[in-house]
Amino acid sequence: METIRVVQVDAFTDEPLTGNPAGVVPNADGLTTDQMQAIAGEMAVSETAFLRSSDAADRRIRYFTPTQEVDLCGHATIGSFAHLRDEGLEPGTTALETNVGVLEIEVEEDGTVWMTQDEPTIREVDVDYDRVADALGVDRAALEGASADLPLAVSSTGLPFLIVPITYLSDVGSAEPDMHAIEELTDAVDATGVYLFTFDALEGNSTLHGRMFAPGAGVPEDPVTGTASGAVGAYLDRFGAFDGDLPDELRLEQGHYVDRPGLVRVRLADGVQVGGRGVTVLDGSIAVPEADEDEILEA
């Protein structure tokens, strides 16, 4: 039976068993799409990254949830390069081919990984606050209280998210999402997930506290979400949340309500960059299922 190396990296943290766990297959050349999907299903984390050779960049990466392939994943990218740094990757800039194009990855001496995301696209959406409140299991008044300057909008730096501001941290923590309703809502606005956030953060030096729900992508609640963090950073800049005084770096808390606390760093001065650390917590091998003879191997 053929086996292949697989690791689990907790991303957006330097503490084991916190942050967002990602599966990483460091050498996935020769695996078919069905094999990668099967391995991701067995790993049963929100995303597993498969690193492959590339003719267009230094590496190619594909991401799979337990149920489907997704075009981009922030925490699995951070986790992959944190692991590669542990394995001897030199600090510096590298090019990564993804389904959304070639992205720039910067690895710092201390192991911090920075991922440059796509140019933002942001569009306001006309969705009734009652529908959003019912889907998230929050009070409509708490949503409207945060909506004076920050509208409901879909923001994307590679993946689209419905960005939903709310008044207090207690509102975020007490949310009781209806996953079926959230899936219908994201389908209606053409988004991958919903990012609920408040400026009422736990730590004084944090910018905000968020939660992200993407049941339609097979991720009911993601502990710490890099792609959504880039999207919300671009959203805040677009709607003038900082009164023209853009901070050098945003610090986004997430994961505390699923006992996986983590921190995402976001920079906006030179495009959207998402950064964080990662720690390898499992290292082993997994059996590779037999390939479907009808599927053509990706080169």
* Percent with pLDDT over 90 in the chain: 92
Domains defined for the chain, CATH in brackets: 3-117+278-287 (3.10.310.10), 121-271 (3.10.310.10)
**pLDDT band for position 95 (cuts 50, 70, 90):** very high
The CA–CA distances, whole Å, from 57 to 16, 45, 53, 119, 176 equal 31, 27, 8, 19, 42
In the predicted model, is pLDDT for residue 299 greater than 60?
Answer: no
Quote the CA–CA distance of 136 and 126 in Å, as a whole number: 17
pTM value > 0.75: yes
Q: Over the stretch 156-182, which tens digit does the pLDDT of each residue have?
A: 999 999 999 999 999 999 999 999 999
pLDDT at 205: 96
**pLDDT band for position 294 (cuts 50, 70, 90):** low
In the predicted model, is pLDDT for residue 244 greater than 80?
Answer: no
In the predicted model, is pLDDT for residue 291 greater than 80?
Answer: yes
Structure token digits, residue 2: 């053929």
Q: Over the stretch 99-140, which tens digit does the pLDDT of each residue have?
A: 999 999 999 999 999 999 999 999 999 999 999 999 999 999
pLDDT at 138: 98
In the predicted model, is pLDDT for residue 8 greater than 50?
Answer: yes
Q: Which residues are catalytic?
A: 47
21 vs 293, higher pLDDT: 21
From the list 37, 20, 61, 33, the residue with the least C-alpha distance to 253 is 20
Residue pair 280/8 in contact (Cβ under 8 Å)? The answer is yes
In the predicted model, is pLDDT for residue 297 greater than 80?
Answer: no
Q: Residue 282 phi/psi, 5° resolution?
A: -140, 140
Residue pair 62/34 in contact (Cβ under 8 Å)? The answer is no
Write the burial class of residue 272 (CB in 10 Å: 0-12 exposed, 13-18 middle, 19+ buried).
buried
* Mean pLDDT taken over the chain: 95
Q: Over the stretch 175-220, which tens digit does the pLDDT of each residue have?
A: 999 999 999 999 999 999 999 999 999 999 999 999 999 999 888 9
Q: Please state whether 243 falls in left (phi above 0), alpha (psi between -120 and 50) or beta.
A: left
**What amino acid occupies position 73?**
C
